[in-house]
Chain A
């Protein structure tokens, strides 16, 4: 229990550190919304291809225009939980410049420290962007069919929490690869591009259903749980067995990546301790 309290307090102090950069926060939030507007305009144009009469009901891979907009908005929320900017490059940098030693000299564990730090960052970020996001959702409130039921909401929050864990441990693993590889930044760049499509940030993965096996494979990979899956849960497009299955796979990935990160870290330290920093 004592160690939980310790990391919670670290969380609190990290929160303070994040809020120091208030101007940074507001600017970043503002620019985060810009690409969203471009995406909306793009889909407007795509849906404008339908006949005037059918426009409201016209579906692309089971998504009406309204639902598409709703999906894209929800994906922003998912990403709020699962994106970990700078985590992997930060770890790789600390390994390279020797700052890793603070985790070796002090009674503290790197992964636990970082997840507390990221948790604090997320809380601070959500707190400061709550208002602009609320306004945005208010603006587009008619694309939504109101709130889903309490059970669905519960599943939604669970999927968001798991998305946070998957996002964290996945990027942590890449950062820890920095023990063996010098160029983690390049690796991260490639992975980011790949993840952007495969996580459903750009479009719902239903659009890939025309290709055989793709969506089935993606169901078993962690990527879609970073953006696509939580959004779909909220939209009630994942029900019953599908929902439970998705949550199950998500939970498995969270655990698997957690274990992988710990194992890699231990291995990396052994390697590092042979050479020193």
Chain B
């Protein structure tokens, strides 16, 4: 049974248009103009237990709004969603006990008290049996490597350590679903990598389903096999991360190391020359022509080394964003069940 089923989810805001200047403000007392903002439009997708799914999109695309609807913070203008078998915006206790939402940069821990006290508070709020709580806590502090830090006031911890504590707090009640909004924003690379590793391990040990939004491609590449891409409130791609390269990357980067101290001047006939440094040149070649181009170059010049890459994921994603509505791949290849996830 799917953990999340969203169908036609839409959220439209009526935003009051403030007019400029004093006259505008006065006029605004009597006659208000509203603009309709379609934050989320007709978003439909399904997530199975055990998946780690990335939610990508530029700022303002509707990612956070969708997460808020799935967690019950706001209710949709249209459409339905079922999360863990409940309708999220009814906010039943049963539902709230089984998921967690963590937003990067927003803390829910007590600022002046040690994290351990906040954890205790969580234990009371979620009515967790002591034995189970202590075991889970031990497991998590071990996993995140923060065992000695729990008795320090939260305000004295570094940003990375605080984020780890937030994540631990969100996992204490053993939620079956973890919603993360920009969890590694503002963190240094080491902290990011540690958190990625912990999330991946936790998903494997406990089978917790994770849906995360992130701007950092490294997070997405490290964790997600499947991504949902949203732009302007619409879902434009729902499929494998690798599929993005196949579908939207119509160029390959061909890196050539020529014999000698320089690269030939006429490489531009094969494609856009991305860089030239000493004997090494990188050329963007249309993916269908790679074989032909390579053959031609190898025939004309002496090449010491060749490598072929996909363009960086961000670039391709950015192109997906720009293009807006694109046909999403069909459903058969998008579902990953827990057993095939390894």
A-side residues, CB < 8 A to B, are: 2, 6, 9-10, 13, 16-17, 20, 98-99, 101-102, 104-108, 273-277
Q: Pick the contact of A105: B96, B117, B121, B127 (CB < 8 A).
A: B96
A10 and B127 in contact (CB under 8 A), knowing A104-B91, A276-B73?
Answer: no
| Measured CA separation A16–B112 after assembly (Å) | 12
Per the bound structure, the CA–CA distance linking A101 and B89 in Å amounts to: 12
Which of A10, A106, A274 has a CB less than 8 Å from the CB of B96? Answer: A106
- Is the beta-carbon distance between A13 and B96 smaller than 8 angstroms? no
Closest chain-A Cβ to B59's Cβ sits at a distance in Å of 16
What are 25 pairs between A and B in contact, CB < 8 Å? A2-B127, A6-B125, A6-B127, A10-B121, A10-B124, A13-B117, A13-B124, A17-B110, A102-B108, A104-B72, A105-B100, A105-B101, A106-B125, A106-B126, A107-B93, A107-B96, A107-B97, A273-B73, A273-B75, A273-B89, A274-B74, A275-B74, A276-B65, A276-B74, A277-B73
Which residues of the partner chain B approach A275 to less than 8 Å between Cβ atoms? 13, 74
| B187 contacts the other chain (CB 8 A) | no
Q: Which chain B residue shows the least CB distance to A104?
A: B73
CB within 8 Å of A: which of B280-311? none
What 8 pairs between A and B have smallest CB-CB spacing? A276-B74, A107-B93, A9-B124, A107-B96, A273-B74, A108-B125, A273-B75, A102-B108
**What separation, in Å, do the CA atoms of A102 and B91 have in the docked complex?**
12
- The docked-state distance in angstroms from the alpha carbon of A133 to that of B74 is 48
> Given that A107-B96, A273-B74 are contacting pairs, would A6 and B124 also be in contact in the complex, using a CB cutoff of 8 Å?
yes
Nearest-CB distance from B177 to chain A (Å)? Answer: 12
CA distance A102 to B106 in the complex (A): 11
Report the bound CA distance from A9 to B130 in whole Å.
13
What's the Cα separation between A101 and B117 when bound, in Å? 20
Contacts of B112 in A (CB 8 A): 17, 20
Question: Interface residues of B, CB < 8 Å — how many?
Answer: 27
Is B120's beta carbon under 8 Å from chain A? yes
CA distance in complex: A273, B93 (Å): 17
Q: Which residue of B lies closest to A98 (CB)?
A: B106
Separation of A273 and B124 alpha carbons in the complex (Å): 26
Q: Are B93 and A274 in contact (CB under 8 A)?
A: no
CB distance from A143 to the nearest CB of B (A): 41
A interface secondary structure, majority: helix
Is B214 positioned at the interface, with any CB of A under 8 Å from its CB? no
Chain B residues near A17: list those with CB within 8 A.
Answer: 110, 112-113, 117
Is residue B71 within 8 Å, beta carbon to beta carbon, of the partner chain? yes
B225 within 8 A of A: no
Interfacial chain B residues near A98, Cβ < 8 Å: 106
Q: Is B68 an interface residue (CB 8 A)?
A: yes
Interface residues of B (CB under 8 A from A): 13, 65, 68, 71-75, 89, 91, 93, 96-97, 100-101, 106, 108, 110, 112-113, 117, 120-121, 124-127
Name the distance in Å between B97's Cβ and chain A's nearest Cβ: 5
A43 to B70, CA, bound (A): 62
Q: For the complex, give the distance between the alpha carbons of A101 and B91 in Å.
A: 12
> In the complex, A273→B72 CA distance in Å?
8
- How distant is the Cα of A195 from the Cα of B221 in the complex, in angstroms? 60
**A residues in contact with B93, CB < 8 Å:** 107
Q: Which of A17, A105, A275 has the most CB of B within 10 A?
A: A105
Task: Closest A residue to B97 by CB, please name it.
Answer: A107
A105 / chain B contacts, CB cutoff of 8 Å = 71-73, 96, 100-101
Besides A13-B124, A107-B97, 18 more A-B contacts (Cβ < 8 Å) are: A2-B127, A6-B127, A13-B117, A13-B120, A13-B121, A16-B113, A17-B110, A98-B106, A104-B73, A105-B72, A106-B125, A106-B126, A107-B126, A108-B125, A273-B74, A274-B74, A275-B74, A277-B73
The answer to whether B117 touches A16 (Cβ under 8 A) is yes
Determine the distance from Cα of A102 to Cα of B110 in the docked complex, in whole angstroms: 12
Q: Bound complex: CA of A63 vs CA of B125, how far in Å?
A: 50
Query: What separation, in Å, do the CA atoms of A105 and B179 have in the docked complex?
Result: 11
A106 to B73, CA, bound (A): 11
In the complex with contacts A10-B124, A104-B91, A107-B126, A276-B68 CB distance below 8 A: yes
Most chain B beta-carbon neighbours within 10 Å: one of A16, A107, A108: A107
The minimal Cβ–Cβ distance linking A82 to chain B, given in whole angstroms, is 26
Contact of A274 with B75 at beta-carbon distance under 8 Å, contacts A17-B113, A98-B106, A107-B93 already known: yes
Q: What is the minimal beta-carbon distance from A53 to any residue of chain B, in angstroms?
A: 59
A99 to B117, CA, bound (A): 19
Question: Whose C-beta in chain A lies nearest to the C-beta of B92?
Answer: A107
By beta carbon, the residue of chain B nearest A272 is: B74
Q: Find chain B residues with CB under 8 A from A102 CB.
A: 108
Expressed in whole angstroms, the Cα–Cα distance for A254 and B97 within the complex equals 32
